[in-house]
């Protein structure tokens, strides 16, 4: 059974610092891994999608890496800003026990950027 873990559950850093969020998954047979951002009381916004054949994706100040063999992904945020404060979720796309494709989510890391 695929399990996705995000540690820590919460993180506070001063504005301007670079930071790394971690995601680990137990089954390396994945189609892709996606990082989302969720603001309080809001839906999920897709940040980056890494296909299983890729090693990393970049968008602005965000860089996501994928190491399938070790079951790990990191989301790197450069020069953090207060507007980056949100919960960050990672999710892996894989085949379920029933043979259909599904997305398994981690429980997220709540990030607070201190001005």
Partner 1 sequence: NAGVTQTPKFRILKIGQSMTLQCTQDMNHNYMYWYRQDPGMGLKLIYYSVGAGITDKGEVPNGYNVSRSTTEDFPLRLELAAPSQTSVYFCASSYSKIGGQFFGPGTRLTVL
Which residues of this protein are in contact with partner 1, per CB under 8 A?
4, 31-32, 34, 36, 41-46, 49, 51, 89, 91, 93, 100-108
Beta carbons of 13 and 80 less than 8 angstroms apart: yes
Residue closer to partner 1, measured from CB, 9 or 114: 9
Residue closer to partner 1, measured from CB, 76 or 105: 105
Residue closer to partner 1, measured from CB, 9 or 79: 9
CB of 42 to partner 1, least distance (A): 6
CB of 83 to partner 1, least distance (A): 19
Distances (CA, A) of 109 to 21, 54, 84, 98, 100: 7, 23, 12, 29, 28
CB of 114 to partner 1, least distance (A): 24
Residue closer to partner 1, measured from CB, 15 or 22: 22
CB of 106 to partner 1, least distance (A): 6
d(CA 115, CA 95): 42
């Amino acid at each position: 059974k695929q399990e996705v873990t995000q540690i820590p559950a919460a993180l506070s850093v001063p504005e301007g610092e670079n930071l790394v969020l971690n995601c680990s998954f137990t089954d390396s047979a994945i189609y892709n891994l996606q990082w989302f951002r969720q603001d309080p009381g809001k839906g999920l916004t897709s940040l980056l999608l890494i296909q299983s054949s890729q090693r990393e994706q970049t968008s602005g100040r965000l860089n996501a890496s994928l190491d399938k063999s070790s079951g790990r992904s990191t989301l790197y945020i450069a020069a953090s800003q207060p507007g980056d404060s949100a919960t960050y979720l990672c999710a892996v796309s894989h085949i379920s026990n029933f043979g259909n494709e599904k997305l398994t989510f981690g429980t997220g890391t709540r990030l607070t950027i201190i001005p």
